[in-house]
Amino acid sequence: MKATKTMNLKNLIDNHVFSSDLNEIDMENRCIINTINPHSYCVARSDPFFQKTLLHSDVLLPDGYGIVLAAKILRGKTIRKIAGADIHDHLLKYANSNNKKVFYLGASENTLALIDKRLKKEYPNILASSYSPPYKPEFSSEDSKAMINAVNAFDPDFLFVGMTAPKQEKWVAANKIDLSATVIVSIGAVFDFYAGTVERSSPFWIKIGLEWLPRFLKEPRRLWRRNVISTPLFLWHLLKSYP
């Protein structure tokens, strides 16, 4: 699908946001999975490449109650919030049942080691590997080549990319042709959640749509922009899009 000149909520909901059951995703054919929430929506409106990347996803998951709310208000559609942790859990269960290979690209060596340890305990039928890229705002061509080579040498069925948004989504879009993985999904903080280095909000906060609040209170300096600026801005875009 072609990106519109300026991303808008009605087009997003009508043509891009995933509204089915995760079981309907074809795990055996090439698939690029991304997520969208109010913050990434606002960022994408001023970042043409990121916008194009999201709108060209094979599956764009509604990872935020703001997106769920917009679907309900603007189109009368009831969709379910699907977080990065949800698609990660779904893919791991599928991989374990079908003896798949998974690869984790991103995070520190310590985080990746913790992920591997947990995988071996919870999903013994999965063969896993990983690579920790350098921490920098942008990767050089040599960095990307090393990352691609590490992935392709393992030849995974599922590739999880965790390098924060929008860097992870844009890197995948720029390099997807050279990556041998069947399913590629950018899931950011899920690496830390699964490793246990960062605690995900409790089911209570998730259920009432405030998963972001405990994280914001713990890390206000890192998360203030998405909650103090992007959330009100998204609500403004939602208001302008109604009816």
| Domains detected in the chain | 9-82+201-241 (no CATH), 84-195 (3.40.50.2300)
Helix (H) or strand (E) holding 129: strand 127-131
SS3 148: helix
Which class for 29: exposed (0-12), middle (13-18), buried (19 or more C-beta within 10 A)?
Answer: exposed
Contact in structure between 4 and 59 (CB atoms under 8 Å):
no
The residues pairing with 106 across neighbouring beta strands, listed in sequence order, are: 162
Q: In the prediction, which pLDDT does 170 show? A: 98
Q: What is the mean pLDDT of each run of 10 residues along the chain (243 residues)?
A: 67 96 96 96 96 97 95 96 96 98 97 98 98 95 98 98 96 98 96 89 68 64 67 93 88
The predicted model scores a pTM of: 0.91
Q: Residue 4: its pLDDT value, please? A: 45
In Å, the largest CA–CA distance within the chain is 51
pLDDT at 201: 66
